[in-house]
Structure 1
Amino acid sequence: MDKLYWLEKIKLQDRAEVGDKAFYLSKIMHRGYPVLPGFVIAASVLRKFLENLNSSEALVADLPHSSLHLDVNNWRQLRQVASGLRQEIINATVPPQLLNAILKAARQLETKYLIFRPSLMLPSMKQSIGSISGLLESQVCCCEPEAIAIALKQTWSQLFRARSLLYWQQVEIDLQQINFAILVQPIQNAIASGLLVANSSGWEIQATWGLGMAIAYGEVLPDSYYIHPETGAVLEQQLGNKTLAYDIDKTNYKVDLQHVSLSGEILECYCLQAYFLEEDQQKQYALPEENLQQLIGLAKQIAKEFGNNFTLKWTIPQQESSRALYLTQVIAPQLGISNFHFLKGLGAAAGRVTATAHVVANSRQKPTQIPKGVILVTSIITPDWLPILQQAGGIITEQGGLTSHAAILARELGIPAIGNLANATTFIQNGERVLIDGDKGEVYRLGMNTEEDVNKQEENSTRKQLEKLSVHQPNHSVYFEQPMTATKLLVNLSQPSLIEQVQSLPVDGVGLLRSELMLLTILDGEHPNTWLNEGRQTQLLERWCETIMQFARGFAPRPIFYRSLDWRSHEFSSLRDNLPSYAASKLGERGTFSYLANPTLFEIELTALATLQKAGYTNIHLILPFVRTLEEFRFCRQKVEQANLTQVPQFQLWIMAEVPSVLFLLPEYVKAGVQGISIGTNDLTQLLLGVDREQGQLAQAFDERHPAVMSAIAQLIRTAKEGGIPCSICGQAPALYPEIIESLVQWGITSISVEPEAFSRTYQAIARAEKSLLLEAARRQIQ
């Protein structure tokens, strides 16, 4: 049972025992490529371990020979079975003979820390598995008996995760067909880590400081190098956004046995830590020049031997004597290595769709168009991708959380979306069929498309879009039969194409009309300054009026709250214009501050609103975005008065409450003429907690439910109530976390605005919250 294979001694006949990752890494090691040494715990070791489990449970008693044909649609049962099986493995004792053998081999590596990498071979599949993203993960531990035992069982137990059992059954793989080995290698702190992706369009190197977890978790935007495949010349290099890095915490290592098995979820050993980089290090490239050239040389050699379609993962360990670069993984179809067919990301927009993947490896080169109905796969999406997204059937991004622009746009358009899926553009091939589940954040790779598949997809794209839209349209009678709610329910919109779909919903109006996204349908791919510089101001004004009028007419007499331009240049960089020096900034001169510097566009907006007022559309109101100071508001109010908008009694001038300064100055804003506020939870959360909405991993850790954010929202609602003005909320928080709606209603929120797809669940949450408050008030009266 203590069968171990040293990496440099693996032979062809050992492949089933060591798994494909170890087998092919050994193969390139034999050819002289720099690969970290290591050994493999054979697949037969796991089979023997499972056979010797001493348990009264019937499912466990049959392992590893049980096929476990569960009803995977019964999610509760699936989780119970998975939890039970994993519990049995964690509670079992690793045989002393096996543990001693592993410990002895580990000491030969002369390391204090080890990484356990799953290495599988599945004979039933046409292609073997080299990379297992989101299904089976590596474990890190110190080189001590107790830690090794726990890391070993943690790694094995992932075979029985709920999502693993679901996948095995969906691809018709029995457990006994799985050869599950573990590659054990030394791990130490790294100078830098990353990957090299080679395909027909060129080579791209990604690099970050420290261990590679920061890229894998989607927590950094790595440095990028674009390489000419034939010459190895660096065509372009771009500094990333690297705010943190990972290393081994040598001073605080521990294994928390208390939390290993209570919930069936196995926690990692605490020997990795994230730390923030100094500002000067953030501004430096992570990959040293000599190692860059070494990596390019290795890639050229691999291209000669195995073709120009492969991915390398690499690391540069911290060593006193040298800066040697090592390969930790090679993915290449010519080697017989393919990527795993199950990937796990972050569910960003609900829905399921199966379609052809359209991969845009370099998101800085936005395509002019994409085939209709495809699943768009790219690194990051900015708002100027909107015209393209209207053709997509689904979205997958490597970066971005629940409040990223990709997620917001997808939810408004009714498109399933998955964010924060690390290396998606590497693992997913252009042209292959992909199933994405936006509710669970799961991606299933189904193989390459045939011509017949493409034709069927094109024919069915319209029908699929209609089916998706119908999911979001509720049965109107259901809502009107229920009691009316005191809290108004509004919708967030930006696209005129959605008016007909949404106007029939029993909503109280449009709580947020995003002008910058609406404007993208007007500009013909050009920057608004281009229109002005070319003397097309009248034409721009006419289009602006016509587009706003569609919303005002479609929802009349219900109110339309139009938010004026919050133009963030870095998000619209593809539009042709000479961008200023602050264009790459996350904040720059955005919001009303930009109106002071150049009021031209704001004045055009006000003229458009005034024109519509004169035409009889009195249901349009104005929200000022990202207001930082009272001086900014007073400037804007003066412009509004000059446009004669305030002469219509129904008109209201609001501000977005998203900059923390509003928390302290709201009473002063009310005195200065603010007639209402709309809380923007996305920006408020970012600025209160210092979290970038596009960094999915951080966004997951710090969301709108954080006590600081909830306290700020409560203060804004109560201060608005004291000032006698309405308070709405239009950020993503109520839609993403309906459980907070009861608190919002209790504090006195006057309206909630959400994407159309969240209308039904938000309405129900408001109704429950108001009913609960009424019941509580009745109980107090009785007492």
Structure 2
Amino acid sequence: MRWFETLRQGDVLVGGGKGANLGELIAAGVPVPPGFVVTSAAFDAFLRQSGLREPILAHLRDLDVNDTTTLQQTARELQEQVLAAPIPEEVAEPTRRAYAELSRRAGQAEEFVAVRSSATAEDRPHTSFAGMNETFLNVRGAENVLRAVRQCWASLYGARVIFYRREQGLTEEGMSIAVAIQRMVNSEKAGVLFTLNPATGDDSVLVIESSFGLGDAVVSGSVRPDRFEVRKADLAITRREIRHKDFLDTRDEEGRNVRRELSDEDAERPSLSDDEVREIARLGRQIGEHYGAPQDVEWAIEGGRVYIVQSRPVTAVGSQAPAGKAEAPHDGVLVRGLGASPGIAAGRARVLASAEEGARVQEGDVLVTRMTAPDWAPVMRRAAAIVTDEGGMTAHAAIVSRELGIPCIVGTGEATRKIADGEVVTVDARQGVVYRGEVEAEAPAQPVAAAPALVAPATGTRLLVNLGEPERAAAVAAQPVDGVGLLRLEFLILAVTENVHPRRLLQQGRGEEYRQKLAEGLRTFAAAFAPRPVICRSSDFRTNEYRGMEGGAEFEPEEANPMIGYRGAYRYLQEPDLFRLELDAVRQVREEFRLGNLHLMIPFARTLHELRQCKALVDASGLSRDPHFELWVMAEVPSILYRLEDYAALGIEGISIGSNDLTQLLLGVDRDNERLAPLFDERDDAVMGALHDLIVGAHQAGLRCSICGQAPSVYPEVTERLVEWGIDSISINPDAIEVTRRTIAAAEQRLLLASVRDGTPRVGYGSAAGRTVRSSHHTTSP
């Protein structure tokens, strides 16, 4: 069990996609209802103790997912087995205690909670699993929570989920699921927000959809929500569409989920005030800047306060399609709705009441229905376009159509009545119009004013970024940064192995495949930032994270405190074959791809003996033969304070301060322990003193000094002190680029001004005071 606040974005293998993102949002200062996660390790323990894991894999291994009857029968049998098996007491009791503590914090004997599936492959950049794994609202009582947890586990083996996984090329062996348990927001109004327009790709706006009551009606697409567009630059509301909302879902006095019909007057009322729209937009802008990538956000309002209950990457984004040659006549319009996935397509309409009629839809037909659900996926893949009566931008039809790249119009209100089965229609999803017959529709030009460019101030202190996902490399590289100060190899490993433990790949004879995929991923980063430096930290998974991968339990020990366990430099010495594959991947990028801006950093070096042996492995790989190759070391174990001269003598180029682990080890605070969270503070005098001593000591030893921990991304006052003490570079999260560069520039200007006023040069600023410049090629480095 893990409380949300102990999780971060990189903890997907522990808390699943939802759980990891909720923890990340809390760390970013976003208002998130409290809760905890029953981790993927709990599900793995359940499968192991029930003896279900191998039988389930055997059923799925040779399953033909296109045989609908067999797929549904197999899924039903697997779910029944999961629901019938007991939850191990080692999982049940901590869950009961956590629920009791959550209720106590809320001032309730038994609090209402939402129980949400959080699969380890869910809510990731390329796999949405839109609406597939189960969510249960307004659950109350510990035993009911446990029952909902088991139902979430069973949903991992639903027919539609199995089909989607196979279509996405995901292996069953690596699948696991966590469950997020969150205080239920009994919302008066709720909905979704996109940090760009998902239909057009316009990232200058935020799109909000809203309705009364609980948000599930908006997310599922069962209601036609109000829609607002807000300009990011100044949060001005540029567009309003108030729709007829037939009903609201809410919680009654007995805690049951009920649906209430709305009067015509209430149905036509705006669900949000302008102030509420702007507050939701402000939070959405903050979230988008934090992640540095488009986000699909769920929000709710209770008692006048906005809460964020989920954020996930937008898995597919449309773009404005080129206009056709002729405009259709007005009398050819059959229905209008919201263009949720852009494009134009013509075909024979098939009006379906349920997915069971799906066989009537042939390749190239236009699917017309009231709304879709996950079990429609096989049918939707054959359609040239999709039109629905209900739904908004987050409706299942909208999300899946964007993933498939086909036109989709939602929320027409009457498509199933106005469009005749079998007639030829043209779907123009750019304009949200369905025409009778086959026509070419032309959209009117939509000029967009260019946003004024912001000039990034020049700084003497280099500004770098922390990065891990290859798909973000190009976008972040286009921003005013001087390189990558921390490339987290763990993210790349998760992507290229598809959640299979690297040791398992070696066992299967796939070591060369693994190395080649690592090299291709590293190439993506290095090419995007060239000639700016990219410092790749070799893998630093903790054992509990490795155990979450397929095969992990076979290779990883169970440790009481993995934070200070089998990790980092010492692990490389025990498993040099895996370390050599990483070294060979780096060398391939530098030599074969001629991207000499890629360098290496060793994490969690406890002793000089460890580092000396790691350096020998690096030398043996051939990397050190290139005089321009740089080997860095993470400064996170406090012992480094006494070894800087020794590190320099080994030929280490520089140190990068990992303020998260350094704080944990200096203060004796387990940063995964929520009870100790108030004690974890990088601004503590002891930590700040260590930062100062590391910067000064590194320069005296002839080493360069950077920092890549969380502190500069969160605390501007820490950044100011780092500049004052003469740090060479600061590496931060992409969402903090603009504010940090301005903080650095202001701090440097104050130092210069003070120097001019009193005539005293500031140590550490300007002409490398107190440092030894070691070689001319440093001009491209942090």
**When the two structures are superposed, what TM-score results if normalisation uses the length of structure 1?**
0.46
